[in-house]
């Protein structure tokens, strides 16, 4: 069986994306796996620290246990998303023990997020995380640049952010970062933003983001490794598909399927109906937006 690192490298080489679906509520996991299987594609199922801190996924171990109930290694693998060194509330996080817990729980790839640190501090933190992951035989994702959206309070106007290039990942820094940190995949900022996670804003429709594709091409050339796009919900479909051809091999998707679940649950009071809403939305994204139905065999 191919490892997750090899599959994501194959995706980069083929210009295909591996979507990574976030699980803020445990009942969402089963319909996501069903949808990926229905479309004969390949995806990661993932959970971020904030999803057990601020939503209802309970813990990384609870998600791993639920994953084992529905696991289909030909179609899905388990990834630990965003473990920050400094979190969205600007608090320091003891991140290495969380990564060790993920390894013990059977996660097949992990992410450390040192993007709120200086470049040198981010390299040091990521190197420690990558060494831990590699000792367990799994890949490590990192982030460089500022993918905004998880912080409390309103963002500046999106057009202002995009025009200024505020927070965009610097290609020269990215080349150094990859070389010195040992990360396997790099999350980059090229116009993408996270969905809001504060209780006051989490139901709001995301701004339709666009991507600086020329900037992405520079990052792909500078780094030579699979790149990751966080904040994948709400980005123009044409931009996404062009990004897959330019080095984005993993795409994080949270808001679109989370809001489908929450809206259906509020409207019907039925968990099975909410799960079906997640399954249908996930299938639509795979088939229509990403256009990767039937891609599993190519990876």
Which residues participate in catalysis according to the annotation? Answer: 81
Backbone dihedral angles phi then psi of residue 189, each to the nearest 5 degrees: -110, 120
In whole angstroms, how far apart are CA 176 and each of 182, 218, 219?
A: 10, 14, 11
Q: What is the DSSP string of the chain?
A: ---HHHHHHHHHHHT--EEEEE-SBGGGHHHHHHHHHHTT--EEEEE-HHHHHSSB---HHHHHHHHHHH--TTTEEEEEEEEESB-TTS-B--HHHHHHHHHHHT-SEEEEE-TTS-HHHHHHHHHHHHHHHHHTT--EEEEES----SSSSPPPPHHHHHHHTTTPPPHHHHHHHHHHH--SEEEE-SS--PPP-STTTTTSPPP-B---HHHHHHHHHHH-S-EEES--TTB-HHHHHHHHHTTEEEEEE-HHHHHHHHHHHHHH--HHHHHHHHHHHHHHIIIIIS--TT-GGG-
Q: Is the dihedral of CA 28, 34, 36, 39 positive or negative?
A: negative
Using alpha carbons, select from 131, 237, 113, 122 the residue that is nearest to residue 182.
Answer: 131
Give every CB contact of residue 179 below 8 A, 6+ residues apart in sequence.
Answer: none
Backbone dihedral angles phi then psi of residue 23, each to the nearest 5 degrees: -120, 85
């Amino acid at each position: 069986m191919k490892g997750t690192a090899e599959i994501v490298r194959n995706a980069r080489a083929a210009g295909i994306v591996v979507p990574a679906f976030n699980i803020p509520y445990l009942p969402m996991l089963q319909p996501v796996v069903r949808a990926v299987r229905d479309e004969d594609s390949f995806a990661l199922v993932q959970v971020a620290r904030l999803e057990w801190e601020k939503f209802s996924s309970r813990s990384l171990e609870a998600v791993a246990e639920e994953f084992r109930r529905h696991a289909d290694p030909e179609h899905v693998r388990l990834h630990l998303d965003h473990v920050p060194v400094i979190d969205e509330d600007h608090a320091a996080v003891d991140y290495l023990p969380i990564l060790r817990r993920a390894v013990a729980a059977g996660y097949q790839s992990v992410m450390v997020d040192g993007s709120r640190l200086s470049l040198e501090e981010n390299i040091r933190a990521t190197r420690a995380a990558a060494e831990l992951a590699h000792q367990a035989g799994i890949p490590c994702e990192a982030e460089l640049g500022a993918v905004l959206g998880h912080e409390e309070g309103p963002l500046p106007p999106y057009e202002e952010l995009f025009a200024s290039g505020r927070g965009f990942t610097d290609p020269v820094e990215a080349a150094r970062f990859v070389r010195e940190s040992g990360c396997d995949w790099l999350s980059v900022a090229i116009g993408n933003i996270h969905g809001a996670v504060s209780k006051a804003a989490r139901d709001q429709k995301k701004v339709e983001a666009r991507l600086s594709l020329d900037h992405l091409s520079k990052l792909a050339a500078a780094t030579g490794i699979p790149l990751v796009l966080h904040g994948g919900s709400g980005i123009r479909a044409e931009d996404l598909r062009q990004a897959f051809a330019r080095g984005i091999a993993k795409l994080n998707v949270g808001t679109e399927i989370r809001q489908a679940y929450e809206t259906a649950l509020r409207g019907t009071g039925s968990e099975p109906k909410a799960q079906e809403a997640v399954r249908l939305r996930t299938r639509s994204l795979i088939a229509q937006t990403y256009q990767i139905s039937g891609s599993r065999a190519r990876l």
